[in-house]
Amino acid sequence: MSEQAVKPITIAISAMGGQGGGVLSNWIRDLAESNGYVAQSTSVPGVAQRTGATIYYLELFSQAAMAQSDQEPVLAMTPVPGDVDVLIAAELVEAGRALQRGFVSADRTTLIATTHRSYTVSERQQKGNGLVDSDKIVAIAEQQAKRLIAFDMNQVAIENHSVISSALFGALAASEALPFSKAQFESAIEAGGVAVASSLAAFNAAYEKGQAEKPEAVSEPDDGSVFSELPEQARTDSARRLLQRVRDEIPEGSQTLVFEAVKQLVDYQDPEYAHQYLDRLNRVVKQDSEAQSFALGHELAKQLALWMAFQDTIRVAEQKIRADRFEKIRREVKASDEQMVYPVEFLHPRVEEICDSMPKSLGEWALNNRFARGCISALFSHGRKLQSAKLSGFLQLYMLASMKSGRRKTLRYFHENNHIEAWLGRIEKAVTRDYDSALEIAKCQNLIKGYSDTHARGYENFNAIMAEVDAWLVSSENSCAARIAKLHKAALTGEDRSAFEAELALAS
Amino acid sequence: MAERSFKKEVQILRKGAGEELHVEGILGVTKALLQSGVAYVGGYQGSPISHLMDVLNDSQEILKELGVHFESNASEATAAAMLAASVNYPLRGAVAWKSTVGTNVASDALANLASGGVKGGALVIVGEDYGEGSSIMQERSHAFAMKSQMWLLDPRPNLTSITESVEWGFQLSEASNTPVMLELRIRACHVHGRFTAKDNVPPPLTVKEAMENPERDTSRIVLPPSVFLHEKEKIEDRLPAAIDFIKANKLNEFFEPRSGGNEKLGIILQGGLYNTLIRALNILGLADAFGNSDIPLYCMNVTYPYVDEEIIEFCRGKDAVLVVEEGQPDYIEQAINKMLRNADVPTRLHGKGMLPVYGEYQGQPLKEGVEAFIQTEAPEMLGKAETLAANDNVSSADNVVQSFDPKLAAQNVIANATAQPNTQADNLIPLQDLDELVPPRPAGFCVGCPERPIFSAIKQLQFEKGEFHVSADIGCHLFSILPPFNLGNTTMGYGLGGAAGSAFNVDGVRRTINVMGDGGFWHNGLTSSIGSAVFNENDNVFLIVDNNYSAATGGQDILSSKFYVDHRSTQNPIKKAVQGVGAKWVRVVDTYDVETVKATFKEAMETPIKGPKIIIAQNECMLNKQRRVKPQTRAAIKEGKRVVRERFFVDDETCTGDHACIRLSGCPSLTVKENPNPLKSDPVAYVDNDCLGCGLCGANAHSAVLCPSFVRAEVISNPSKMDSFLHGIRQKVIGFLQNRLQAKLDKHAF
């Protein structure tokens, strides 16, 4: 027998601690040992397994080959780049990590990768969108592996009430990278004796999916927002008028977006508010440039709508009491028909939010009057747990939501409205000088988000950038786009304002 | 209750001669101990050796039947000291711990043990926590063997070799009256393989029998003038005896080259690296899968003491020899150089010049090192197999060391692999792009970890008071150092969190926080951190994380564990212990009550009371709790009992995608998902189905005044009649009002 032929089959599992890589290892080992192979598996135990990236490694060796030479094979403890037959990744970035370490080679490695993501802390903790590009990892995997099987194996597991190891095992069977039949794989699960039925269900579902030719596209959070088409006709008069305005006044490429915005603002307040939105938008759209494919108008349409639908206490209360929300919670916690679900809302409005919800003059007085402020503080010094599906909790929220008709008189509305107008004014001025600068100013709206302190800090950053804009508007500089973009990015970086302040200090 | 139960697996320990066992390394070692007539065993948990302690704990019945005493020692020092039973009596004893940290802790007792020597075989099994997956500083146990004159075994990492080394380890110890260390690398501890069992052997002399017939030999006690004689005996008697035994029993192995091999070259290696080296040779076309190599090998299953004669004999007549020795300093290579010099053998010796000076010897660096060796000494031997690494890459030692970086090594491999003619080469995405696509994923707090809320609270207090100096300790709580908490300045050793902060016992604007876990506390923290702080009137804040177990090492029970444990005394509160050593300001808080934890830290920071401010933060390890409670809950639901399950939920419409909650938690189940609003591009927070409903999300939302998006869903199974009655009324009223709201919206529907 030639040296090439007498080699172990090498299998690496790239996973996160606690994901069940051990179960998968055991199945593969049992599968091999019951079907004419000796198997060795290793793992790294202990603290390394607490949710961190880890590698399980297996080698299988044919007993026939052993008998022929009458010798024991020497099996290795860790994978060697270029020497891995099968790489199983239990999470997509872990597939990327294995690729990075060279464990996937084009002449040899079958890569079985789930496309689901378990986001790392570094991605999740960003103030904006810090997620890595999953499609690109899949593309690199496709280019590097001899064969790639990729789909959302976690989803397959969930659909079959199982865990990812069963789905990975199914995809492994489908790959036919190991010299074992599907029935032999199934016997290994049966021999394991734990949750056999659900494991087999997930195994079979993954087996079928795994036989597809192309890796499945990744679905994940991204910016490629899809809006629904404009309807032929609206059902009510007020809606018809708005729909007509969108058709008449908005460039075609932005109509679906603006229509979505209009729908949201009607839901947020009333048709009149949506008209106000279109009026504001038009001030800029009129000056927008077809040569730039109306990029500014498009961006502004999005940002303005989001700002106008600011999250005040009235809006939050309204969101909490809607029927479809209660249904959503039931679905999400996987409640059966016989189970009851009671949400407990964690609310902690501060004095500022309470006063913000009052009519402007009353709110201002309460904020500035020590006694009134003290009373409100005392009432709301602790967080509240409100049972929104029980009567007293629901009614409180219902009352608050009913204040919607008076929203235009609230202190919060007054503030937001002033800021929106000032911002729009800057954009109108900027677009006459530099299109890109106007676009960057429009984008800055997304700095204002969150609630309480987070919201206040966002405003602080926003205002600091606007001060820069104002300085630019009276200067002779051609553009401030690059500067604003940098500041914008810095404001979304890190937890405190240090990155932003450093960036701010650079120019001054 | 340990994280993993071996109750089922330990039955394998009863198997008799001739049976083939398929087990994990750790279980194999336990079986080997029983086959060796061991009289007592003990140790201290810690990866990668924790499971050995769990296995022993779960096999107490079998141990008892054989008359073997098992002790779950309080620390490695305690375990090492226990080997004193082998000083006067022909009792075989074995203890285990994680090295080198455990060996550091044990070194006082070990040095005394090694000085006086032993009568019965004394074996220390060390899990060498070095390289990938290690959680400690990177050092070698080798230095301890040398400085105390103990013998160090490093067997080939297959179960047959490992289990046999246990047996001859005892024999070597007895033949040379010296304690012996058996080193097992991380993956060897957990390698799952097979070996052939022998019958268990009850100890010829039990500890009971020894205790009832006391004997003493003052010459073995470390007290002048004996100590001076010990030094002499170590060198003049024990060392030669050990070397004779090793030679006579062929503990080190010579592997002759296969036919057509090259007698003029040789490789000297540590036994534990044998499998990896063979694979490296195999990939280079210099060995087959069964280990038959073109190059002669000298495999050191005993890495200390060195058998000079064997080494000189192996090298004599060869042009060049490569020493494969993992870690630094290169003790073995230095010693061999001296041997060859003294013996006037002109063989060229290579080692760290061609292999990485530091770091774990995995397949890739070994392959490159051997390739560099062959390239230099006998380049004609290469080219037998297609090798991926380009030859000019390995001509200089610099390149080799550089490419030890696994990433770089991988890029070399890939660069060469993709250098093949490829029609679509232009469309290839450069692999360097992976650097941006693959964020680090260090180990962290598990889902629902009760330690996370403490650090949420401290972080929130920092927003208010400015940054603290935090002296961290060994244990899961050490993950506070990583994002998103970024808390912790140093870690000096198990139970030494308080001691490590002791220099800061001066008046300052902000007091320091000194962290310790309950595991570290009972390991030595009670005296070295708390006792010392009380004695020195340390004015800082001391946090003791009490989660019922030694959680980081796998959930082993300790003195303050809350549950009744067979064979052990538990339920001894930490509060009583610290008050016992004189602490005055002591508070016990529930970790999940973030508001109270925060307020307690604030009080501790501000109180005028002198002396250490001790905060004991209690709650159970949630994963352990789940293991305990889940089956009970499932049974209760099945029986039709009313059960309320809690889990968290984030309103995706209310969430604005700022992720402030994540920056205060980092819980794996508090993640993100696509924003349901097509106008918004930032992902929203999302609680996935792994949520254990620990309550931290809600507590943070309140104490940090986060946002109104957090909801705790209470899911009632088998609702009572009262539940159903009230539910009906609620549904009616709420449904009516919801319809009214909907009607208003419908007036403007599109």
B-chain residues near A54 (CB < 8 A): 133
Q: Look at B135 and A48 and tell me if their CB atoms are within 8 Å.
A: yes
Tracing tokens 């057509």 back to the chain, one arrives at: B260
Cα–Cα distance list, A292 to A304, A436, B304, B333 (Å): 19, 10, 76, 70
Phi, psi of A147 (to 5 degrees): -145, 140
Check if the beta carbon of residue A346 is closer than 8 Å to that of residue B712.
yes
> Rounded to whole angstroms, how far apart are CA atoms A322 and A328?
10
- Residue B534 confidence (pLDDT) above 50: yes
pLDDT (0 to 100) of residue A225: 59
Boundaries of every domain in chain A: 9-210, 225-308, 313-408, 410-508
Q: How many CA atoms lie within 13 A of B189 on its CB side?
A: 29
Q: Look at A325 and B439 and tell me if their CB atoms are within 8 Å.
A: no
pLDDT (0 to 100) of residue B333: 98
Which of B282, B674, B706 has the CB atom closest to A221's CB atom?
B674
Domains of chain B: 17-248 (3.40.50.970), 253-417 (3.40.50.920), 452-624 (3.40.50.970), 642-718 (3.30.70)
Q: Mean pLDDT, to the nearest integer, of B576-593?
A: 97
Phi, psi of B646 (to 5 degrees): -115, 140
Q: Mean pLDDT, to the nearest integer, of B165-181?
A: 98
Which of B188, B290, B714 has the CB atom closest to A69's CB atom?
B290
Distance, in angstroms, between B337 CA and closest chain A CA? 29
pLDDT (0 to 100) of residue B135: 83
Mutate to test the interface with A, among B192, B423, B441 (most CBs of A within 10 A): B441
Which of B440, B479, B727 has the CB atom closest to A340's CB atom?
B727
> Rounded to whole angstroms, how far apart are CA atoms B280 and B274?
10
pLDDT tens per residue across span B220-253: 999 999 999 999 999 999 999 999 999 999 999 9
- Residue B417 confidence (pLDDT) above 70: no
Distance, in angstroms, between A66 CA and closest chain B CA? 9
pLDDT (0 to 100) of residue B4: 80
**pLDDT tens-digit profile, chain A (508 residues):** 444 458 999 999 999 987 888 999 999 999 999 999 999 999 887 555 677 889 999 999 999 999 999 999 999 999 999 999 999 999 999 999 999 999 999 999 999 999 999 999 999 998 888 999 999 999 999 999 999 999 999 999 999 999 999 999 999 999 999 999 999 999 999 998 889 999 999 999 999 999 876 666 665 554 555 788 999 999 999 999 999 999 999 999 999 999 999 999 999 999 999 999 999 999 999 999 888 889 999 999 999 999 999 999 999 999 999 999 999 999 999 999 999 999 999 999 989 999 999 999 999 999 999 999 999 888 887 889 999 999 999 999 999 999 999 999 999 999 999 999 999 999 999 999 999 999 999 999 999 988 888 899 999 999 999 999 999 999 999 999 999 999 999 998 877 788 899 999 986 5
B-chain residues near A101 (CB < 8 A): 406-407, 410
Q: Which ipTM value was assigned to this complex?
A: 0.92
> Rounded to whole angstroms, how far apart are CA atoms B75 and B96?
11
> Rounded to whole angstroms, how far apart are CA atoms A69 and B396?
38
Q: How many CA atoms lie within 13 A of B633 on its CB side?
A: 13
Q: Which CATH number fits domain A9-210: 3.40.920.10, 3.40.50.620, 3.40.1280.10, 3.40.50.700?
A: 3.40.920.10
Q: Look at A321 and B741 and tell me if their CB atoms are within 8 Å.
A: yes
B-chain residues near A106 (CB < 8 A): 417-418, 420
Chain A, 283 to 322: residues with Cβ < 8 Å from chain B are 302, 305-306, 311, 316, 318-322
Residue of B nearest to A391 (CA): B730
How do strand B684-687 and strand B670-673 relate by DSSP bridges?
antiparallel
Chain A, 15 to 44: residues with Cβ < 8 Å from chain B are 16-18, 25, 29, 33, 38-44
CA angle at B119 for the pair B113 and B124, rounded to the nearest 5°: 50
Residue type, B43: G
- Residue B536 confidence (pLDDT) above 70: yes
Tracing tokens 């750790």 back to the chain, one arrives at: B26
Distance, in angstroms, between B113 CA and closest chain A CA? 30
> Rounded to whole angstroms, how far apart are CA atoms A280 and A468?
23
How do strand B585-590 and strand B613-618 relate by DSSP bridges?
parallel
Percent helix, strand, coil in chain B, to 5, is 45, 15, 40
A-chain residues near B741 (CB < 8 A): 318, 321-322, 401
pLDDT (0 to 100) of residue B426: 58
> Rounded to whole angstroms, how far apart are CA atoms B158 and A39?
12
Chain A, 73 to 112: residues with Cβ < 8 Å from chain B are 73-83, 93-94, 96-97, 99-103, 105-107
| pLDDT tier, B720 (very low <50, low <70, confident <90, very high otherwise) | very high
Q: How far apart are the first and last CA of chain A?
A: 76
* Better-scored residue on pLDDT, B358 or A452: B358
pLDDT (0 to 100) of residue B715: 96
Residue type, B189: C
pLDDT tens per residue across span B607-639: 999 999 999 999 988 877 888 899 999 999 999
- Residue B409 confidence (pLDDT) above 50: no
pLDDT (0 to 100) of residue A48: 54
CA angle at A30 for the pair A71 and A40, rounded to the nearest 5°: 45
Print burial letters for B288-309: b (CB count within 10 Å at least 16), e (below 16): bbbbbbbbbbbbbbbbbbbbbe
Which of A51, A158, A341 has the CB atom closest to B713's CB atom?
A341
Distance, in angstroms, between B70 CA and closest chain A CA? 23
Dump the DSSP string for A71-97: ------SS--TT--SEEEESSHHHHHH
pLDDT tens per residue across span B301-332: 999 999 999 999 999 999 999 999 999 999 99
Distance, in angstroms, between B304 CA and closest chain A CA? 23
B-chain residues near A350 (CB < 8 A): 705
pLDDT (0 to 100) of residue B423: 42
Mutate to test the interface with B, among A340, A356, A452 (most CBs of B within 10 A): A340
Q: A245 touching B, CB under 8 A?
A: no
Rounded to 10 deg, the angle between the A164-175 and A21-33 helix axes is 40
Q: Look at A333 and B649 and tell me if their CB atoms are within 8 Å.
A: yes
pLDDT (0 to 100) of residue A508: 57
Q: Look at B133 and A144 and tell me if their CB atoms are within 8 Å.
A: no
Q: How far apart are the first and last CA of chain B?
A: 60
Mean pLDDT over all residues of chain B? 92
Would you call the peptide bond into B356 cis, given omega within 30 degrees of 0 as the criterion? Answer: no
